[in-house]
Amino acid sequence: MAVFVSGRGSNLQALIEGIAEHGIPAEIALVVSNKPEALALERAERHGIPTAVFSPADFADQDAFADALLKRLYETEIDLICLAGFTLILPYRLLAAFPQRIINIHPSLLPAFGGKGMYGMHVHRAVLASGAKYSGATVHIVTEEIDGGPIICQEVVPVEDDDTPETLAQRVLEVEHRLYPRALQLMVEDALEINGLRTRIKQRAD
Ligand code: GAR
């Protein structure tokens, strides 16, 4: 699998640790960042994971960017992509090349507080401004609709009266770190049945 990052990489770290601790049959073979300065790249290197920087600004157009990225993913024999704080909207070619094989973590209870411009601290500010009493985290399958694909799993987090965007973000992040390895496990064990926007754990015969 590949993990796509843009920043701090705490979810990348949670995936690395989750794979080891829970014996998830997955190998992070590549970490891709669109930003060369992302702290996540250092984390990957510390764990001996190959990294690559792909920034659209370095390519003539979106197609050239997508082609170069796809070439690297195919060379590395990637068959699952986890977005972990990746701030770019994926080119259509990439989505088409990995149908139902790209997952994303989002710091709210989707479909609330998702969509274009809703990432990181923007999400937590919007939650507080709305007066919502609960927020949470969601892992979902990535489709053409931003933050709109089938939901794999979610966990609820209460909003406290004295929360700031930062304190809420921290409480949600703790949940993200246990939710993402769980979602990864469901994906690699092919445990999910997907029906429209709904997913459920497959009933096994044994
Ligand atoms: C996480 O909170 C993740 O849910 C969010 O960015 C943060 C990345 O932190 N992603 C989005 O908002 C996607 N729309 P990290 O780099 O420490 O994993």
Q: pLDDT per residue over 99-143, tens digit each?
A: 999 999 999 999 999 999 999 999 999 999 999 999 999 999 999
Nearest CA to ligand 1 atom 1: 85
**Cα 81-85-91 angle, rounded to 5 deg:** 55
Tell me if 1-98 shares its fold with 105-206. Answer: yes
Closest CA to 103 of 125, 73, 81: 81
106 included as an active-site residue: yes
Per-domain residue ranges of the chain = 1-98, 105-206
Nearest CA to ligand 1 atom 9: 85
Contact yes or no for 81/141 (Cβ under 8 A): no
Q: Check: CATH 3.40.50.170 for 1-98?
A: yes
The length of the chain, given as a count of residues? 206
Report the CATH fold assignment for 105-206: Rossmann fold (3.40.50)
Distance 118 CA to ligand 1 centre (A): 11
Distance 203 CA to ligand 1 centre (A): 32
Quick: pLDDT tens for 38-84.
999 999 999 999 999 999 999 999 999 999 999 999 999 999 999 99
- φ and ψ of 192, to 5 deg: -105, 140
